[in-house]
Structure 1
Amino acid sequence: MARPGSPGSVDVLGECVADIFEDPDRSDPDGLVLRALPGGGPANTAVALARLGTPTRFLGRLSNDAFGALFRARLNASGVNLGSSVTAPEPSTLAVADLDASGQAAYTFYAESAADWQWTDIELAATRNDDTVCLHTGSLALIRHPGGSRIEDHLARVREHATVSIDPNVRPLLVEPSTYRERLPHWCAIADILRLSEDDCATLAPDTGLDEACDNWHGAGARLVVITLGGNGALVSLDGARVTVTAPPVTVADTVGAGDSFTAGLLHHLDALGHLGGRLDTLTLDDATDACTFAAQVAALTCSVPGANPPWKEGTALRTTPIRT
C-alpha cells in the first residue's frame, strides 16, 4: 500500500538494449567506429528512478555476453537493485541509432531470439515482492513473444497490491502497429498509469485527437493518461479532467532517453506524494500536474547531455517540492 511521505519501492520490468552510435571523430573512409552505450526504455527508466532517490528494482533478463556486463555495470552504478534479474544465455538486444540534425534518434534493431523476450512464468513469479508499490513495464518486452503475454498475466496478479504503469513505447519497425492497437485495450484494463509519446498516439490512434484518445483509454480502464509532447510539454488527463504542462527551455544535445526519464520523474513524484500502491484513489489533478511538471524537468536535463544519461538528485537544479503551473 502507499505510504504517504515515505517513498516506496518501484519495480521496472523490461529490456536492456545496447544503443550503438557512430563515433564520427574516429570514423574515416576505411572504417566506421561505433560506440555502444547501455540503454533500453525500461532500463533507462530504472536508472533515472534510482538516481532520483527512489528505491528501484530492475526485473530484466540480462545476457551473459559483453553487453550484459555493460548493462549490469550501469544499473549497479546508478543504485538499481538487480537481485531479482535473471542471468540469461541468449544474446543482448542491439539498436543502431541514427541521429538527425536536431538530435532525434531513429533505430535499427537486432533483436531476434534475444534474452529480453524469453521470460517464463516461473521466472516472473520469482520476482514478486509484496513491498513494491508500483510495477512499471512496457516497450518491446510487453509486446514481443513469447514473454509478452506472460508479463501481461503477471501484471494482473501484481496489481492486487501495487500500482501498474505502462509505456507502450511503440516500435513499428519491429512490431506491426495493428498488434499494438489490438493489445492496448487490455493494457488499459490492467494499467493505472498510461504514459505515451505524441508519436505513439499517432500510431495507436491515427486520425484521432489527443483528447478523444485519452477518453477512449480512460474508458478502457486507465485512470491517469499522460502524453508527452516533446518541447511542448505534456498533456495530463486524470479520469478525463485535463491540463497541459509546459516544458522548461533547454539546449538539446539529443532526445535519447527523454521519455524514459519523464516516466521516472512522474513515478518518483507520485511516490513521494504517497499516491502509489493502489488504484490512485487519492490522486488529484493538481498532484498529477505537479508530478508531470517535475517529470518535464527531469526529461529536459536528460536532453541537455548526449545519450540516455538522466540526472542525479544531488548536484542538479531539480526542484523536488510540488510545482504549480
Structure 2
Amino acid sequence: MSVSPQVTVVGECVADIFAAPPGVDRSGLALRMQSGGGPANTAVGLARLGTPTRLLARLSGDLFGRTIRAHLLGSGVDLSGAVAAGEPSTLAVADIGPDGQAAYTFHATATADWQWTEAELAAAGTGRSACVHAGSLALALAPGASAVEDFLARARAHATVSIDPNVRTALVDTDVYRRRLPHWCALADILRLSEDDLRTLRPGVPPAAACDDFHRAGARLVVVTRGAGGVTISLDGRRADVPGVPVEVVDTVGAGDSFTAGLLHRLGAQGLLGGRLAAATLDAVADACRYAVRVAALTCAVPGPNPPWARQVDAMTDGAAGDMAGEAAGDAAGDAAPPAVR
C-alpha cells in the first residue's frame, strides 16, 4: 500500500477525568486526567498509525490544556494550525459502568473548544490534506459550530470530508442533531456513527433504511459501529458486515474515535482519499474496516482514550486483541511510546 496522505482533523480537546483506584486515604475521591475529546482522540490515533495529521483545535493555556498539548505532540500530531485560546479547557467527568461503557458529566460553559471563528479556521486552512475529519461537539455547539460547517464546505473543493456526529445529549439537545444531520450528510463523503448514535438520531428506523436516507442526503459511505457486534458498511447502498475482534474490555472510552482513525488511515493507504471516494469499492472499505476494528479493540484493552501505535496493530492477528493488551497497557502507562516504535 502507498504512504498515507495527510489528514486534517477539526474539533475539541477535552480533559477526560476518571476516578482513580482507591488508595490509602479513602476519605475522598481521587481523580486522574487523560487527554480526550473525539476529534483529538482521532488525531492521536491517525498519527500513531503513521498518517501525517494536523489538528485544528483551540487549546487552552491552563494546566489541562498544557497537558493535552504535550500528549498530542508526543503522539506526533501537528499543532501548527492550533489556536492558543484564552478560555479554560473543557472537562468531561467519566463514570465507567461494569460493562466498560462511560457516562459523562460535562463542564463546558464558555470553554475554549466551542469559540471558533471564521477567521481562525481560514487562517489555519486545510494545507495539503487529502481528507478533513470533524464531528462531535465542535460541530454541534454554538458559537463555533457554524464556522466549522463552513470550513468543511470549503474543504470539499479538494478533500474527502469525514464526519462523526458522536452524539452527546448531555450537552446538546437531540433535536439539534436531528435538524443538522441532513446538512452534515450533504457535507460528508464518510459518515461514521455508533449503533447508539443511530438509535438516538433515527429511533425505530431499521439501520438499512437509515443508511439509505443518509445516502440520499449526500453521504457516499456510511459506517455503523456496533461494539462487539462488529461493523455495518453501506457504500452507495451496497452493504457488508465486518465482525468484531474479541477483547477483554477495560473500558470503551475512545474506541469509536480509534476506529475512525483506523478507517481513514487504511483508506488513505489505499489511495482512496482526496475526493468523492470515486475509486472506492465495497471490498476495499471492508478491508479498511477490518483494520479499524483491530485498532478499536486494542483501545478497549487499556484504560481511557489511548489508541495503539502501528506496530501494535501490525503485530495483532485476528482474535488476538487480548494477547496485545499487556503491551498496549505498558504504552498507555507512559502515555506515548518512543518514536522508534511508531
Q: TM-score interval w.r.t. the shorter chain?
A: over 0.9
2:103 is aligned with 1:106? yes
Can you list the C-alpha shifts for 1:44-84, whole angstroms capped at 9, x where unaligned?
A: 00000000000000110000100010111100000000000
Query: What is the alpha-carbon distance in structure 1 between the residues aligned to residue 30 and residue 127 of structure 2?
Result: 46
Residue 63 of structure 1 is matched in structure 2 by 60
Q: Per-residue deviation at 1:315?
A: 4.2
The equivalences for 1:239-258 within 5 A come to: 239-258=236-255
Q: Per-residue deviation at 1:29?
A: 4.6
Residue 167 of structure 2 is matched in structure 1 by 170
Residue 160 of structure 1 is matched in structure 2 by 157
TM-score (norm 1): 0.95
TM-score (norm 2): 0.91
Contact 2:130 2:275 in 1 (8 A): yes
- Residue identity matched to 1:188: C
Q: 1:274 aligns with which of 250, 271, 274?
A: 271
Q: Per-residue deviation at 1:306?
A: 1.0
Closer, same or farther: CA 187–27 of 1 in aligned 2, 3 Å: farther
Residue 23 of structure 1 is matched in structure 2 by 20
Residue 195 of structure 1 is matched in structure 2 by 192
- Residue identity matched to 1:74: H
Closer, same or farther: CA 315–227 of 1 in aligned 2, 3 Å: closer
Contact 1:233 1:246 in 2 (8 A): yes
- Residue identity matched to 2:9: V
- Residue identity matched to 1:241: R
- Residue identity matched to 1:210: P
Can you list the C-alpha shifts for 1:258-290, whole angstroms capped at 9, x where unaligned?
A: 000000000000000000000000000000100
The equivalences for 1:102-251 within 5 A come to: 102-251=99-248
Query: What is the alpha-carbon distance in structure 1 between the residues aligned to residue 26 and residue 294 of structure 2?
Result: 40
Query: What is the alpha-carbon distance in structure 1 between the residues aligned to residue 312 and residue 212 of structure 2?
Result: 39
2:92 is aligned with 1:95? yes
Query: What is the alpha-carbon distance in structure 1 between the residues aligned to residue 39 and residue 47 of structure 2?
Result: 12
Query: What is the alpha-carbon distance in structure 1 between the residues aligned to residue 44 and residue 214 of structure 2?
Result: 28
SS at match of 1:292: helix
Q: Per-residue deviation at 1:126?
A: 1.1
Q: Per-residue deviation at 1:129?
A: 3.1
Query: What is the alpha-carbon distance in structure 1 between the residues aligned to residue 231 and residue 193 of structure 2?
Result: 10
Q: Which range moved further: 26-35 or 210-219? A: 26-35
Residue 299 of structure 1 is matched in structure 2 by 296
SS at match of 2:272: coil
Contact 1:142 1:149 in 2 (8 A): yes
2:46 is aligned with 1:49? yes
- Residue identity matched to 2:240: V
Q: Per-residue deviation at 1:318?
A: 4.8
Contact 1:14 1:42 in 2 (8 A): yes
Contact 2:295 2:313 in 1 (8 A): no
Contact 2:126 2:132 in 1 (8 A): no
Closer, same or farther: CA 27–180 of 1 in aligned 2, 3 Å: farther
Can you list the C-alpha shifts for 1:165-184, whole angstroms capped at 9, x where unaligned?
A: 00000001111100000000
SS at match of 1:152: helix
Q: Per-residue deviation at 1:5?
A: 2.1
Query: What is the alpha-carbon distance in structure 1 between the residues aligned to residue 122 and residue 24 of structure 2?
Result: 46
Query: What is the alpha-carbon distance in structure 2 between the residues aligned to residue 239 and residue 14 of structure 1?
Result: 27
Query: What is the alpha-carbon distance in structure 2 between the residues aligned to residue 281 and residue 28 of structure 1?
Result: 59
Q: Per-residue deviation at 1:27?
A: 7.3
Contact 2:14 2:37 in 1 (8 A): yes
Q: Per-residue deviation at 1:127?
A: 1.4
Query: What is the alpha-carbon distance in structure 1 between the residues aligned to residue 77 and residue 187 of structure 2?
Result: 25
SS at match of 1:51: helix
Contact 1:298 1:318 in 2 (8 A): no
SS at match of 2:33: strand
Query: What is the alpha-carbon distance in structure 1 between the residues aligned to residue 198 and residue 56 of structure 2?
Result: 27
Structure 1, gaps ≥5 residues long: 321-325
Residue identity (%):
62
What is the Cα-based RMSD across aligned positions, in Å?
1.3
Query: What is the alpha-carbon distance in structure 2 between the residues aligned to residue 189 and residue 316 of structure 1?
Result: 33
Corresponding residue pairs, total = 317
Can you list the C-alpha shifts for 1:211-240, whole angstroms capped at 9, x where unaligned?
A: 000000000000000000000001000000
Query: What is the alpha-carbon distance in structure 2 between the residues aligned to residue 161 and residue 319 of structure 1?
Result: 35
Residue 35 of structure 1 is matched in structure 2 by 32
Q: Per-residue deviation at 1:319?
A: 6.5
Q: 2:81 aligns with which of 84, 95, 100?
A: 84
SS at match of 2:131: strand
Query: What is the alpha-carbon distance in structure 1 between the residues aligned to residue 25 and residue 93 of structure 2?
Result: 18
